[in-house]
Structure 1
Amino acid sequence: MKKYLSLENLISVIIIILPTYLIRFNIFSVPTNLLEVLMTSLIVVWLLKKKDKVAFLKKGVGVYKKYIFWVILIFLGLLISTLVNQNYTAGAGIIKGWFLFPIIFSAIAITEVKKEKIFLSYFISSFVVASLALGYFFLNLITFDGRLEAFFNSPNYLAMYLAPALIIGVGLYTRNKKIYGVALAIILVAFYLTFSYAAWASVFIAIIIFLRLNKKIKLKAIGIVLGVAILLFIFSQAGKNKYNDFSHFTERSSLSSRTMVWKAAEKIISDNWFLGIGPGNFQTKYLEYQKYFPPYLEWAVPHPHNIFLSFWLQSGLAGLIGFLGLIYLRIKETSENVFNKNALATLSTAILIYILIHGMVDTTYFKNDLAIVFWLFFFMGIKKF
């Protein structure tokens, strides 16, 4: 029994059930969710079981010392921006749920669980989510424009959750072709039905980069694969309203809507470039700035559809610099992993590449599950102690 209740298995289970953050409630009037409760329990168990915590902490600081300053910078940016903009409740909740818990949980996970098991746990989670999502599809529980979102708030969020699993499936496919092949096909179908063009393109690029870094594909082959992918995209989407709006850049297309959001975000940043507007304040500010623009195409916009703009707006210039510093150091460490032929570290980097590429046109961080995905695979490319 103790074997099944091991710390390693508990962490794996939490990774598998990441979407439980959607089960929300209050504890003593403090907003929380099931995932946070489970992570809190795990942290308590870990603290009780871990011997010689001081020595462990010193060793951890030694391994991650070059990253700590940039993480502190992000937290300072978030805290100062929250205090200045006086959005205390939302700000505290975001710092807790999208930064503090994800970082602590991910740091514990990569010290207690083998990397391949972390990949497998997330792959299983995505397989379960994809299977449930297909159930929604067969019951015709889809959006008004025919896209699959399942129990998420948007088809894009479903795509963001499934995308890392596609990269994992490709990376680990040769280890068990039957199991990974079948599961990968199911995840791919659900991913396709989201019709998230940005997610499709970002995953494709990330997989190509992963295969190239591992020397599993030649440069000539990349050109051929790219050409085939473009043709498949055109033939499969031609005639659909979303494709027509996208290809002709109509005034009602998602790209037109995003362009308007980016212009509004740019204006907000120009007025709040140093301290930002605070976590959770974008929707309010976005509506306040309507007077400077033609009528919005989108009104419910909690984030500016760009991960870098999100960090700048929610944590000020300090937070943005902290985030960029982390990315720079992680990419630098990736080059060393590639040189040392560390395939699993390279795989985690491919997932980060996906997050950053898709993050150019969407917000691929500011959700409980997406934040954990970011930090989990961020840490996995760093030397384990």
Structure 2
Amino acid sequence: MSYWRTFEQNYLPYVPIFLLTLSCGAGSGSLMTASFLAHLIICRKEGRPIAGTLWKAPVVWQTVVTIALFLGTAALTIPFNDGRPAVLLKYVERLIPLALVILMARPGKGTFLSVWFALFLSLLWYLGLVAAYPIWQDNRLFGPFSSPNSLASVLLVLIPGVLFGAIRYRASWPKTSCFMALVSAIAFVVLLCTGSRNAYLAFFVVFLALLVFCYLGRAWLTLKIMAGILVLSCLIIGVAAPQFISDRLDRDISQDGRVYLTQVAVQLIEEKPYIGIGLGRWGEVYHERFEAENPFHEKNIQSPHNIYLQVWNETGLVGLSGFFILILFQLKVVLGSLIAYYRGHGPGFPWLAGFFLPILAIYLFGLFDYDFFNRHTMQLYWFYWGMVVYSWVYYKKEKNLS
């Protein structure tokens, strides 16, 4: 009975956010439903309001207005270019994780720990799937996915959060942190095996940002260890498959199909720069007008492999302006909050930064791929932003940040 009371007092309140994180990480709708049901049951049991209190924060309403501008500018073009409203409804549906975070996230450091453990289990789940289905094609690791880039994008948005937590809790959870850091290193090796050069670039930038946060947190030993892990991981993959790395990095960019897709995107911008060709119609237009002339004979392409060009192509400058408003708003919130945090509290390692790193990775990966618009990545994106909002409120109110 005492075990149950301990669980009820210390862990039960964080079960919903744990399940929500796991559902977003593993891409499970059933777990997301279970997280909401658990939230309802716990709120009823404890007499807490279902809506929580996070929704009262100004940054939540600023987020709502910004999202409305992002979706509204895209919707504004639909009557003029035969865009598909169903695509817009999909974007709205993928906002559910953000709404659930606002409902479920509770004050207390247990929220951060719950999210960290759930992200780790999600990463472990995908590594297990890769081990069970070690599918290679053209010297690139596909795993259970239809393309190596899909595997790379999943790892790219999970590794930063797990690694950040391992650094954040290295003193209070030393053994657990070491184990999670090791798993993150293994995941990094798997990411290298996908051969996704855009994932390499995005991870490199995110890793540099992580090193900057280590410096700001005065974590000197961690800086050395992380540098060592990075070098060791590269050495392992370099020794195991030097030709693979050489082939990926030395590949002639003129032989990359993205060059032709970019040319198509530029032509479409010149033709319809303001309202675009229609939301969700890029693949249709490509098939009708450009597919036959593709020198690489690529079929069923749905995007120019660049989320910014895709938004510009489909919704024109009108829709692109809404997308950039969203990005600039997020950068303003994060950078402004981090500056205030370090000025007010000195050295530290705030989760606010940890949750923004995957968002940064998604934006960078989107320069050369379109996974941002798939269901899994978009749900993770909005989940992470929800946690950024929660962190913003938490660090403003919390006095003891040790």
TM-score, normalised on structure 2? Answer: 0.74
Change (3 A) 1:309 1:58: same
User: Structure 1 residue 353 and structure 2 residue 360: aligned?
Assistant: yes
Q: Is 1:308 the counterpart of 2:305 in the alignment?
A: no
Among 137, 154, 176, which residue is 2:147 paired with? 154
Question: What is the match of residue 337 of structure 1?
Answer: 338
Q: Name the CA shift for 1:362/1:92 in 2 (closer, same or farther; >3 Å).
A: closer
Query: Within 2, Cα distance between the matches of 1:7 and 1:201?
Result: 39
Q: Which residue of 1 aligns with 2:164?
A: 171
Aligned positions of 1:1-385 closer than 5 A: 8-18=14-24, 35=29, 39=32, 49=43, 56=53, 59-60=56-57, 62-86=58-82, 88=84, 90-98=86-94, 100-110=95-105, 114-137=111-134, 142-173=135-166, 174=170, 175=173, 176-215=176-215, 216=219, 238-240=242-244, 243-244=246-247, 247-249=250-252, 251-252=254-255, 256-290=256-290, 295-335=295-335, 336-338=337-339, 339=342, 340=345, 341-382=348-389, 383-384=392-393
Answer whether contact 1:74 1:318 (CA < 8 A) is retained.
no
Deviation of 1:72 (Å):
0.6
Cα distance between partner residues in 1 of 2:55 and 2:182: 44
Residue 397 of structure 2 corresponds to none
Please say if residues 290 and 296 of structure 1, whose CA atoms lie closer than 8 Å, have aligned partners that are also in contact: no
Give the aligned partner of residue 400 of structure 2: none
Letter in structure 2 aligned against 1:91 = V
**What SS does the corresponding residue of 1:118 show, helix, strand or coil?**
helix
CA positional deviation for 1:162: 0.9
Residues 294/156 of structure 1: CA separation in 2 closer, same or farther (3 Å cut): closer
Q: Secondary structure at the match of 1:300?
A: coil
- Higher mean alpha-carbon deviation, 39-48 vs 350-359, is at 39-48
Deviations 1:321-354 (A, max 9, x none): 2222222232223233252545211112222222
Q: Retained in 2: the 8 A contact 1:211–1:217?
A: no
Q: Comparing 349-358 with 49-58, which one deviates more in the overlay?
A: 49-58
Query: Match for 1:117: what amino acid?
Result: S
Check the 8 A contact 1:276/1:313 in 2, yes or no. Answer: yes
- Maintained 8 Å contact 2:18/2:115: yes
CA distance in 1, matches of 2:31, 2:152: 25
Shift of 1:251: 4.3
2:276 & 2:114 partners in 1: Cα distance?
39
Change (3 A) 1:81 1:15: farther
Instruction: Find the aligned partners of 2:157 and 2:248 in 1 and give their Cα distance.
Output: 27
Counterparts in 2 of 1:150 and 1:82: CA distance versus 1, 3 Å: farther
Deviation, structure 1 residue 275: 2.5
Distance across 2 between alignment mates of 1:275 and 1:119: 41
* Residues 1:54 and 1:248: Cα distance change in structure 2 (over 3 Å): closer
Shift of the alpha carbon at 1:156? 0.7
CA distance in 1, matches of 2:81, 2:13: 40
* Paired residue type of 1:283: G
User: May I ask how many residue pairs the two structures share in their alignment?
Assistant: 360
Q: Structure 1 residues 247, 193: closer, same or farther in 2, change over 3 A?
A: closer
> Take 1:43 and 1:78, find their aligned partners in 2: how far apart are those partners?
30
Task: Out of 79-88 and 195-204, give the one that drifted further.
Answer: 79-88
Taking structure 1 as the reference length, what is the TM-score of the superposition?
A: 0.77
Is the alpha carbon distance of 1:318 and 1:229 closer, same or farther for their aligned partners in structure 2, counting shifts above 3 Å? farther
The 1-side partners of 2:36 and 2:261 are apart by 39
Q: Provide the identity percentage.
A: 20
SS at match of 2:71: helix
Query: How many Å separate the matches in 2 of 1:270 and 1:159?
Result: 32
* 1:110–1:376 Cα contact (<8 Å) kept: no
Greater displacement, 287-296 / 1-10: 1-10
User: Structure 1 residues 87, 106: closer, same or farther in 2, change over 3 A?
Assistant: farther
Q: Quote how far apart the aligned CAs of 1:111 are.
A: 5.3
Cα deviation, residue 199, structure 1: 0.8
